[in-house]
Amino acid sequence: MPLSSPPAPPAVAGRLALGRRGRTVGLGFLVLTDVVYATSAFDGRRAAAAGLTPSMSSPMSDLGLLIALVGIGLVAAVQWRQRWPVALALVGVAGVALQLGPTFALINLMWVVVTRPWKDALWVGGIVAGATGVAVWRDLVASPAATSFWRTLVAQDGQPVGWYAPVVVTLALIALFGGTGLWLRTRSQLRTAEVVVASERQAVTSLTDQVSRQTERERLAREIHDGLGHNLSILSVHAGALEAMAEAAGDDLVDRPEGADAVERRTAAQLKESAQVVRETAAKSVSELHSLLNILRNPGDADVAAPTKTLRDVRALIDDSVTAGMPLIATVYVEDGEAMDPPLAQAAYRIVQELLTNARKHAATVPVRLTMTGGRGEGQLVIGTANHLPPPKWPPPAEGAARPGTGLAGIRERVEHYGGDMQWGADAEAVFRVSVRLPWRLVERSAKEGN
């Protein structure tokens, strides 16, 4: 498989590109030097064979011109050494057959080692080594000796060249270019390995954070289940017992010989109804607590984390509040509520729930006015509550001032999370008002199609 270069920042990538262009120019100049020498040596040998004295001013032969043109093409092809190194190495071998030197073939062999599998490097290296040996041997035995490049390096003037000279020179050239390719390949692999290690380290860090958060969620879920769940269960049991006692007391009043007045019977009925509301509310709270604990333990599960409350459930929430004895006047007019984004609809439900809970906590006996209006055409959903403050809570704090509890703070965080806004405060008539505006978002098309 070809080796891929690791990603680099823009500044580093620019420097690398400049370095590649510099290497291309340098290698191209090396091939051009080989072409110039091979062309001049070819014409010099032909002139010596014809009995002429080689001279730099002698005109270039037609065959020499053809060799020069082929060599110039090889110089231009150096820039594609990374894209087609195998094919260009074979072209360089063919150039050796045309009396050119082996430089172009050796350069492409270097990039075969860098970018191609080892099996390609082996068979291409064998062919290039054979062509290089032929080119070196041809140069060493060339006549006259002045046209031989390698003879001037490995033999003294007039001394014969040993049979081992072509082998030594060929092995040295293969070792030089092949070793350079091996070094470049190793450096590229190390750079890629560094990127992979950094990526894996980041993934491990992310997984560690996820495991830590999941452990914390499990701990919180366990504490909530053991504490709040236990208390709700006790509340449900005692509410059931209270309901049974109220029913038994009502039966005793009916069976009493002297009878019972209307006030006593009404009191017993109200006690039974209140106990039933407490028991049903506690059971509903336990069920909702289990759902919330599942979300806390499995936040990524689509089935668990799916919204469970919609705008349609606001009616039941209002009925429960009225049944529990809360003096509530509600006006709800929402157009096409089913088209609202489910998470946003559940957030609206939770906001209404918290507003009613907050009013019940701080002004239990005061009538509360609840309004919810909006729709797709308006592009928003507006939720508001208003109630008179009891005398002990007057004068009221200014808007945004510190208040006991976290109800309004939690509502504001939820509203800001969905891109809405919230205002709250009391006016001169001691009416505490809360106004929440949420943007209207439609159900995602993909979600509709999936349903």
- Range of weakest confidence among 13-17, 39-43, 356-360, 426-430: 13-17
Q: Please state the rounded mean pLDDT for residues 53-80.
A: 75
pLDDT at 330 over 80: yes
**Where are the chain's structural domains?**
10-162, 308-451
- Range of weakest confidence among 130-139, 167-176, 346-355, 401-410: 401-410
Q: Identify the three-state secondary structure at position 419.
A: coil
What is the band of 373 on the pLDDT scale with cuts at 50, 70, 90?
very high
Structure tokens at 210: 């996820």
**Rounded distance, CA 21 to CA 215, Å?**
53
pLDDT: which is higher, 41 or 196: 196
Q: Please state the rounded mean pLDDT for residues 40-52.
A: 67
**Rounded distance, CA 315 to CA 370, Å?**
12
Instruction: Scan for tokens 């007039």, then name that residue.
Output: 158
pLDDT of residue 422: 92
Give the pLDDT confidence of 106-144 residue by residue, as tens digits.
888 888 888 888 888 899 888 988 888 888 888 777 776
Share of residues in the chain with pLDDT > 90 (%): 6
How far from 105 is each of 9, 73, 124, 190, CA to CA, in Å?
33, 13, 10, 27
The DSSP H or E segment spanning 427 is: none
pLDDT: which is higher, 429 or 302: 429
**Rounded distance, CA 286 to CA 273, Å?**
20
Instruction: Scan for tokens 């009391």, then name that residue.
Output: 426
SS (H, E, C) 130-169: HHHHHHHHHHHCCCCHHHCHHHHHHCCCCCCCCCHHHHHH
Structure tokens at 334: 């929402």
Instruction: Please check whether residue 449 is in contact with residue 419, taking contact to mean a CB–CB distance below 8 angstroms.
Output: no
pLDDT at 19 over 90: no
Q: Please state the rounded mean pLDDT for residues 60-87.
A: 82
Under the phi-then-psi rule, with left for phi > 0, alpha for psi from -120 to 50, and beta for the rest, what region is 373? beta
Structure tokens at 104: 């172009």
CATH number of the domain located at residue range(s) 308-451 in this protein: 3.30.565.10
The DSSP H or E segment spanning 285 is: helix 262-297
**CA proximity to 440, closest of 424, 419, 425, 426:** 419
Q: Please state the rounded mean pLDDT for residues 384-391.
A: 85
Angle at 415 between CA 410 and CA 418, to 5 degrees: 130
Cα torsion through 396, 397, 403, 409, rounded to 10: 110
Instruction: Please check whether residue 387 is in contact with residue 365, taking contact to mean a CB–CB distance below 8 angstroms.
Output: no
- Range of weakest confidence among 277-291, 332-346, 411-425: 277-291
pLDDT of residue 303: 46
How far from 57 is each of 35, 43, 54, 316, 374, CA to CA, in Å?
18, 11, 9, 107, 96
pLDDT: which is higher, 257 or 320: 320
Structure tokens at 160: 């014969």
Which positions ≥6 away from 131 have C-beta within 8 Å? 92, 93, 96, 97, 102, 105
The DSSP H or E segment spanning 27 is: helix 10-49
Structure tokens at 230: 């236990």
**Rounded distance, CA 229 to CA 223, Å?**
9
pLDDT of residue 309: 78
pLDDT of residue 338: 81
pTM for the whole structure: 0.46
**Rounded distance, CA 95 to CA 84, Å?**
16
pLDDT at 73 over 90: no
Q: What is the pLDDT of the chain when averaged over all its residues?
A: 76
Compute the Cα dihedral for 168, 173, 176, 182 and give only its sign: negative
pLDDT of residue 447: 43
Number of neighbours of residue 349 by Cβ within 10 angstroms: 20
pLDDT of residue 435: 93
